[in-house]
């Protein structure tokens, strides 16, 4: 009997393991991706356990190193003649089969712990609501204290928006901040608490490009909406209108053509007022221009009214710390709220037991499979040898 009948054919085992691992991981990732993105009723109850799957490649490496070490020990143990008396012929196929069973038992136990679930029953919920994007001016002119001696225009606006969010029900709200440019601070959501948290963090320091690009803000709000969901939509622009960069009326008219109402709120007085120069949260005097002259600001009411008219909405102006949103709220509430039917899986059925059963069967199978050459496999390997 040749010595190779008593050692493992590592190249064949390595190829078999590599082939199986590639096949398994390809099927695993494609299956999970498909289920999570195309099957609404599927989920893992405890997905954190899936991270333990990293044990599998480590097990494969440890398995290969162990059997490579066994080969070396066997080769140095004795001559081919003595091996017949000291050990038994081994089957590389059965060795891989033991790896296959034990390795997959581990995988099925991990999947069982993650507990795949399918929705057992469904419930249809109908909600009424609209979508409202608030566009808030955070340019430097919004630091002015003409509405209140202790609160800037921006602080007054934030108080009004906070109250506005509190008065919304079954609606989705979002927040866009703008100056010379615009970006989404809060995407459309019905989580009013989270929206308020992000609102509180708003400050002029967030925008380095100064100006009052109301048209850009309206266009940004339009991109935030899903125009195909059939839900009525509205945009509220809150600004002093100062340093207007143009394009706002065109943007508002374009929004109205797409059935989105645009309303405006003036956050300033018509009297000129200086702008505080704030550095690192502290007032360092009044803002100066390039010639050292104090910069003044006042409400550009005509422009804000024109934007509201083009947008099919209404205009209101802040009086002190009070922003009268009643008219705008009435306009928004007068929009016929569309009924949105949502399908929610209310009860999930556990599937972990099937994975545990398969894992146990594979583990038992591993215990009953020996590496010894027997029967047809033994004869075939002798013939090929």
Better-scored residue on pLDDT, 154 or 295: 154
Model pLDDT, residue 383? 45
As a whole number of angstroms, the distance between CA 164 and CA 186 comes to 15
> What does pLDDT average to over the chain?
83
In degrees rounded to 5, what are phi and psi of residue 222? Answer: -65, -35
Structure tokens at 341: 């039917």
Structure tokens at 156: 């007054």
**Angstrom distances, CA of residue 262 to CA of 56, 142, 156, 250, 355:** 57, 21, 21, 12, 55
Model pLDDT, residue 371? 73
Model pLDDT, residue 355? 92
> How far, rounded to the nearest angstrom, does the alpha carbon of residue 205 sit from its chain's CA centroid?
26
- Do the beta carbons of residue 136 and residue 161 sit within 8 Å? yes
Please list, in sequence order, all residues whose beta carbon lies within 8 angstroms of the beta carbon of residue 248, skipping any fewer than 6 positions away. 214, 215, 218, 237, 303, 307
SS3 content of the chain, % helix, strand, coil (to 5): 50, 25, 25
Model pLDDT, residue 40? 67
Mean pLDDT of the 18-27 span: 92
Banded model confidence at residue 108, pLDDT cuts 50, 70, 90? very high
- Do the beta carbons of residue 273 and residue 295 sit within 8 Å? no
CATH of 131-336, one of 3.40.50.410, 3.40.50.720, 2.70.150.10, 3.40.50.300: 3.40.50.410
Model pLDDT, residue 248? 92
pLDDT digits (tens, 9 = 90+) for 118-128: 776 665 555 56
- Do the beta carbons of residue 212 and residue 245 sit within 8 Å? yes
Stretch among 20-29, 49-58, 89-98, 214-223 having the lowest mean pLDDT:
89-98
pLDDT at 279 over 80: no
pLDDT digits (tens, 9 = 90+) for 209-237: 777 889 999 999 999 998 887 788 999 99
* DSSP assignments along 75-94, one per residue: HHH--HHHHHHHS--B-HHH
Better-scored residue on pLDDT, 382 or 62: 62
Q: What is the DSSP letter of 41?
A: T
- Do the beta carbons of residue 213 and residue 179 sit within 8 Å? yes
pLDDT digits (tens, 9 = 90+) for 280-313: 667 777 877 777 788 888 999 999 999 999 999 9
Helix pair angle (10-38, 55-77), 10° resolution: 170
- Do the beta carbons of residue 327 and residue 264 sit within 8 Å? no
As a whole number of angstroms, the distance between CA 122 and CA 107 comes to 31
CA-nearest of 331, 353, 385, 373 to 93 is 373
Model pLDDT, residue 230? 76
Query: How do the domains of the chain map onto residue ranges?
Result: 3-122+345-384, 131-336
**Angstrom distances, CA of residue 219 to CA of 28, 225, 235, 246, 328:** 42, 10, 10, 13, 20
CA-nearest of 369, 357, 340, 279 to 130 is 340
Banded model confidence at residue 80, pLDDT cuts 50, 70, 90? low
- Do the beta carbons of residue 179 and residue 209 sit within 8 Å? yes
β-strand partners of 274: 296
β-strand partners of 282: 279
Q: Which residue has the tokens 């599937």?
A: 351
Model pLDDT, residue 286? 81
pLDDT at 385 over 50: no
Q: Global pTM?
A: 0.56
């Amino acid at each position: 009997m040749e010595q190779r009948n008593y050692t493992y054919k590592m190249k064949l085992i390595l190829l078999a393991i590599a082939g199986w691992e590639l096949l398994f991981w390809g099927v695993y990732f494609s299956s999970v991706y498909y289920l999570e993105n195309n099957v609404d009723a599927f989920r893992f109850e405890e997905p954190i356990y899936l991270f333990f799957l990293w044990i599998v490649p480590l097990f494969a490496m440890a398995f290969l190193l162990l059997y490579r070490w066994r080969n070396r020990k066997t080769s140095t143990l004795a001559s081919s003649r003595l091996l017949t008396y000291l050990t038994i012929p081994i089957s590389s196929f059965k060795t891989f089969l033991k790896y296959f069973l034990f390795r997959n038992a581990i995988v099925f136990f991990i999947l069982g712990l993650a507990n795949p679930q399918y929705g057992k029953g469904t419930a249809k919920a109908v909600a009424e609501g609209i979508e409202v994007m608030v566009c808030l001016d955070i340019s430097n002119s919004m630091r002015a204290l003409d509405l209140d001696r202790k609160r800037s225009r921006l602080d007054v606006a934030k108080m009004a928006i906070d109250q506005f969010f509190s008065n919304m029900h079954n609606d989705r709200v979002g927040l866009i901040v703008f100056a010379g440019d615009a970006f989404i601070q809060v995407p459309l959501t019905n989580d009013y608490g989270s929206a308020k948290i992000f609102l509180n963090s708003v400050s002029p320091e967030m925008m380095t490009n100064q100006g009052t690009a109301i048209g850009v803000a309206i266009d940004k709000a339009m991109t935030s909406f899903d125009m195909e969901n059939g839900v009525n939509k509205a945009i509220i622009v809150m600004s002093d209108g100062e340093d207007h960069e143009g394009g706002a009326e065109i943007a508002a008219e374009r929004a109205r053509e797409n059935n989105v109402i645009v309303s405006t709120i003036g956050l300033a007085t018509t009297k000129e007022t200086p702008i505080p120069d704030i550095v690192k949260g502290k007032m360092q005097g009044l803002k100066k221009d390039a010639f050292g002259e104090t910069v003044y600001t006042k409400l550009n009411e005509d422009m804000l009214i024109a934007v509201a008219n083009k947008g099919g909405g209404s205009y209101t102006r802040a009086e002190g710390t009070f922003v009268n949103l009643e008219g705008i709220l009435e306009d928004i509430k007068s929009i016929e709220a569309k009924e949105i039917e949502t399908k929610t899986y209310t009860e999930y059925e556990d599937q972990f037991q099937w994975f545990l059963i398969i894992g146990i069967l594979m583990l038992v199978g591993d215990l009953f499979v020996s590496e010894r050459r027997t029967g047809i496999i033994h004869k075939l390997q002798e013939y090929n040898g």
